[in-house]
């Protein structure tokens, strides 16, 4: 089935560690996004990419970096994790053009101790 997958699904790490969250999609979509969800704050955009050569910061990009290795792969890195980066992280994809709907992966629960 065409799908958006995220690995790992759960991760516990310590302050200062480098963490990479990975996202793969088989939908053939050009656009990919990384969000984080915090209680009471909804989903906030971290980074987005409209194609392999296009990377853009979202509203909360500080402390994060991304890599678009291929059309189907978009990874999110925390160079030096801190406790307030504890959250649910979601990857999403969409087609280009007039496409409005985004399709989300199952999420990664990250805990930074």
Partner 1 sequence: DQQVKQNSPSLSVQEGRISILNCDYTNSMFDYFLWYKKYPAEGPTFLISISSIKDKNEDGRFTVFLNKSAKHLSLHIVPSQPGDSAVYFCAARVWSAGGTSYGKLTFGQGTILTVHP
Residues that bind partner 1 (CB under 8 A): 4, 31, 35, 40-45, 48, 50, 58, 90, 92, 94, 96-107
Between 105 and 112, CB nearer to partner 1: 105
Residue 38 backbone dihedrals phi, psi, to 5 degrees: -125, 145
Write down the least CB distance from residue 36 to partner 1, Å: 11
Distance of CA 6 to the CA centre of its chain: 9
Between 40 and 62, CB nearer to partner 1: 40
Between 16 and 96, CB nearer to partner 1: 96
Write down the least CB distance from residue 15 to partner 1, Å: 26
Q: Which two tokens stand for residue 86?
A: 């504890």
């Amino acid at each position: 089935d065409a799908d958006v997958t995220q690995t790992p699904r759960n991760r516990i790490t310590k302050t200062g560690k480098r963490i990479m969250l990975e996202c793969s999609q088989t939908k053939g979509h050009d656009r990919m996004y990384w969000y984080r969800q915090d209680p009471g704050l909804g989903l906030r955009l971290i980074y987005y990419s409209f194609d392999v050569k296009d990377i853009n910061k979202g509203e909360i990009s500080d402390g994060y970096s991304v890599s678009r290795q291929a059309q189907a792969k978009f990874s999110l890195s925390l160079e030096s994790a801190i406790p307030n980066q504890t959250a649910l992280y979601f990857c999403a994809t969409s087609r280009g053009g007039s496409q409005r709907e985004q399709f989300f992966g199952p999420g990664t629960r990250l805990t930074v101790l």
